């Protein structure tokens, strides 16, 4: 199974509540770079799951524009995302599935570390790929972590 962990793009501080914070223009542009970069390296996605918060929904919608699956809102990807919640998300997935998970820090970085053993700090808009061999959820292999700056370069932005 190929898991793509993505922290939402840069978000505005100007919103009535944290749940409603939208992407900034720069954040949206960088997410587009992420989609273009993954498309260039021929990533395929079977599922796109996103936190219910606006910035994660917008990030996932942009990514869905580059890949075929529709975005599914999953409360598991909110601030309390954990290894147990990841297990729940992956419970019925084929071991060949390619899954994009869009969420928040610090839980996104913590789950990547719990799965792979690699200490990572997911910056806004960054994407990590972890190869996982079900049924185990721990013991995955961190294949790469791409920062927004690297994704911009890959996309030619």
In order of start, what are the domains of the chain with their CATH numbers?
A: 2-133+140-155 (3.40.50.1240)
Q: What is the pLDDT of residue 58?
A: 98
Q: What is the pLDDT of residue 135?
A: 64
Q: What is the pLDDT of residue 107?
A: 97
Q: What is the pLDDT of residue 121?
A: 95
Between the two ends of the chain, the Cα-to-Cα distance in Å is 30
Total-model pTM: 0.96
Phi-psi region of 64 (alpha: psi -120 to 50; beta: other; left: phi over 0): alpha
In angstroms, what is the C-alpha Rg of the chain?
A: 14
Series of mean pLDDT values for 10-residue runs along the chain (157 residues): 97 94 97 97 97 98 95 97 94 93 98 95 97 80 96 92
How are strands ordered across the β-sheet holding 2-7? 71-73, 47-50, 98-103, 2-7, 127-131, 141-146
Structure tokens at 58: 């917008």
Q: What is the pLDDT of residue 157?
A: 73
How far, in Å, CA of 65 to CA of 111, rounded? Answer: 26
**DSSP E strands: which ranges in 23-118?**
47-50, 71-73, 98-103
How far, in Å, CA of 155 to CA of 157, rounded? Answer: 5
Helix (H, G, I), strand (E, B) or coil at 8: coil
């Amino acid at each position: 199974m190929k898991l793509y962990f993505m922290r939402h793009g840069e978000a505005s501080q100007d919103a009535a509540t944290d749940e409603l914070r939208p992407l900034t223009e720069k954040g949206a542009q960088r997410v587009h770079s992420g989609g273009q970069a993954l498309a260039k390296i021929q990533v395929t996605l079977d599922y796109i799951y996103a936190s219910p918060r606006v910035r994660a929904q917008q990030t996932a919608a942009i990514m869905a524009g580059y890949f075929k699956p529709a975005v599914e809102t999953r409360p598991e990807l909110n601030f309390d995302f954990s290894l147990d919640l990841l297990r729940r998300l992956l419970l019925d997935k084929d071991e060949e599935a390619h899954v994009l998970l869009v969420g928040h820090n610090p839980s996104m970085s913590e789950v990547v570390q719990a799965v792979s053993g690699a200490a990572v700090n997911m910056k806004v808009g960054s994407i990590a790929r972890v190869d996982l061999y079900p049924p185990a959820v721990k013991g995955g292999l961190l294949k790469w972590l791409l920062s927004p700056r690297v994704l911009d370069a890959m996309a030619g932005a």
